[in-house]
Structure 1
Amino acid sequence: VEPNKAAQLLLTYKNLDTIYFKLYKRPINERTEAELDNKEVLFKFLAQNKQLKKWFVVVPKSTDYRLHTLVTKIDGLDFGQYLLISQNTNSNESSKIFNYNNFTVTNLAVTNRLLATNLHEYYVVNNTTGAAVKSAKIQQRKYNNKGLFINSQLLTTNELGNATTDEIQGVANAIVYQNKDSLSINVSNYNYRANKEVVDYKKVILFTDRPIYRPGQTIFYKGLFIDNKNDRNIIVPGEKIDITFKDVNGKEIEEKAHTTNEFGTFQGSFVIPMGKLNGLMELYTGYGSLKVQVEEYKRPTFEIAFDELNEKYKLNDSVRVTGKATAFAGYSVSNAKVSYKIFRRAIYNYSIYNYDNNFSYGNNIYNRQQIAFGDTVTKDGGKWDFNFLAKTPNEKLNYAFDIEITITDMNGET
């Protein structure tokens, strides 16, 4: 969240008419946000800290017992790390809490990675402009024997926003500082090649024709048998493989025997019996398994299609987006609610040294921000359209825009 600027808050609710909020500020040097997943730790924090702000939002009342969404705002805040509590009542009782969110107000964006040379690299940029942040301090931290963070090496970024270190072992977290701004990040120092113990093994990789089925349907599967020796995968033809179909309780439904072909693969099918408990069923071999979902699901009755953009647009132009909602039965879906969100991503080019000792190139994507949202309805023929401004804070950078569409028809299907 940018400092001193109002931020959008997306609410998802059901069977409520009012949502109450309480805002707390957290010290940046606390261990981790995950600690607050422990209710005792969360309640202790709330009891020992003063509310920074509280307010409520009246949401449109509904009686359809469905989930609804609403976008509201949080007023601009100063730099820091915050905890937002949401409740369905104005009570101070901890038991009334039904959701909480951690967020940080900062101008910093940080990436970190372990290089092939066993150096750890940090890259600090301004999360709005993408400019490199020079002279930022990076305080690496480790766990002590009590599970608490202790400071280790202190780094400083160069004029390119980079800092590297050979202190890798045990570093789990880092706090990045620049003037009044700060950001806490998790640090991963796992080197796949350096830490990998080469062990020979055999495995089966299974594939199915779909991830979810209904009772009575047929599961078509295919398997690939791999023999890994000296860290190299070898295809083995003529290997005998038994595959077992198990229900949600792990009991055998059916078993089949296969022999791999010249490509090391085999295939077959199982029919899902009626009357079994729905849930995750399993295709099992001694070298690997795969779970599939079995449910009495309802198929969607309509689909959403975007029209191709025929116009050429530049940054800060107004972009027109059009599309159509059509039922699979062939008729148009008219008078349906259309909700849309527009996200902007700044793109920075980079090169990486991968694990096979080759350079590869791509782009690293930072700072996905929602820049617009709105609602409309489908017209005759199921057509919908809207415009958004492709606004950018810095025309010297490249940007990508993501468009998310949600359509709910008159029967409540979304």
Structure 2
Amino acid sequence: MNNFSIPYKLAIQKKQTIVSKSLLIQMQKQSYSNENTRAFINYKNVNQVTISFYKINHNQTELFRNSFYSKDSLTDVVIKRHKAVATKNYELLNKKDYFQYTTEVVLPQLTTGNYLVYFESDSDTENKKSFAYETINITNLTVLASQKNETEIFQVLDRKTGKPIENVSIQRTNQTIQTDKNGLASYIKEKNQNYYEPILFTTDNDTLLVTKNYMPYYDEYDVKDDETNKGRVEFYLDRAIYRPGQTVYYKGIAFHKKGSTTTIVAKTSFKITVKDVNNNDFKEFEIITNEFGSFSGEFILPKTGLTGNFNIQAEEPDDYEKDAVYNKESDEHPFWDNVDFNFSQINFKVEEYKRPKFEVRFEPITKSYRINQNIHVKGIAKAFSGSNITDAKVTYTITKFTSYFRNFYNNEQKEVIVTSETKTDPSGNFVIEFHAKSVPSATKEQLPIFNYRINATVTDLNGETHSTETIVKVGYHDLILSASIPNQIETKNNNEILLSSTNLNGTFLATKGEIKIYYVRPFLDKFKARIWSKPEIESITDEEFERLFPYENNTKIIADSLIETIVFSKKVDTSTDKKLVLDFISKYKSGEYKVVFSARDAFDNNIESKSNFRLLQSNDKYDQSKLFT
């Protein structure tokens, strides 16, 4: 191949991409002192990495934060002038298949302070190392921040125990304050405050340096924030849709709200404007509220013109000085001069429409159907006056789609199987008939449900048209069970399981079956999720992980591996048993449970319903499923 050809150059680029080395390391920015920590490594074509920790002071930490373009030179100074407090080399499994892999490594324990972490590994350039660096903070301090009015409040706590820490020095740019016995300290905010201001928290043996904009704040609710006096008008109409030329009857109530107090606005004038579909003023007039703050009236819509969305708006009148409540001596109106009036309007439609004379509906589907049967679905068209809609044209479409009782995945598309028409008989009834065929890709063991959506449109002799829809469900089975229970129950409460049995179309179908309750497993004793997902290459064994990180959940529960223990069973008949009262669980231990409701249907299929729930033993001293109770 020509060494200067484009395919050759592209091939060389692709090869360089494949054989290139890459290394991405994730660490926690803050950790406890003398705590086991680990790094998550994403790598390709790399055999090893060396991680070194250099202790740095606050000034150096600030330089790393603020000197973006001189970090490399700062790093060189630190590693040349300081001795690493810990260095460890990690061998990485290189499968030499040019794929990326992930792994985890345990890091050395560190005491409180700020550290420069220096990573070094082989590079793509021969006889040259690649490197990267980051700063971390090892501290037992954490800070909560809040603000109230003009005061900013800090509370310093122990990161592990949550206990307030007294006598913590909080050093700002131009001020130093100290926490009290509750770990609290506060100061008055400046007008031009710096949101990027570094704040240093120090004790005799610990420090925490944070930038102000990274601190989570919460504001206490202040009623004064809601003390604005706001007014508005609520409109009410006699209907939502009008025909051209009809009379619109309206009513309005004016009120204003200050804080949590709402008051009506009496004997006050408002300008009312009615706008048409083009937002042009159709009518404009003034009203005066009565002693109850309400007003009402009527107006006639135009008989011609565009139809669509109209609206009624209320706003400040041109001359409110004529109101009886206006104070001439102080030249002040108690409402308009003291209230922030909100935009107030109501929308309504103006449409050319005819009142419907009849309705069409399908009769409820109460019968159970099986696949490969002929299905008859009955409908009726009935006038609102009570008369029958006879000899009306009925056009219908039947669309088939498949769902699965046992949640099997299926890509089957919806299919229109019938498009036809019929007529109503002298009683207004009509019947739609079709044959329910199976789908070759669906097997009986999957318990498929074949859904037939029927859309019917009836047109009477006057041309008036109405539509309706129903779904007929057909399958190899004819029973659906349900055992409903809350996700979590407590033994001291009155608990019950609601039982239900229906055919595929939702009609009650009595059946005899059995209900069983299983104890699945105790609550997990781990309250921390994994910091990162499990790596592809596990360099830390499960036993070592449990010893080093006892509070992290390292186990993915596989349902098939759980050994379930049956703790209760009972025969039930849904013709009489609508619920199962759980008055026998007072001694059950806390944990995860499962209820299974099973029965045989008319075609001898085994039908099951499974529900999982959590049970809390009221006699437990604490909630085993939570860290704090």
Coarse TM-score class (shorter-chain normalised) = 0.3 to 0.5
TM-score calculated relative to the size of structure 1? 0.44
Larger Rg: 2
Higher relative contact order (CA 8 A, sep 6+): 1
Greater strand share, structure number: 1
TM-score calculated relative to the size of structure 2? 0.30
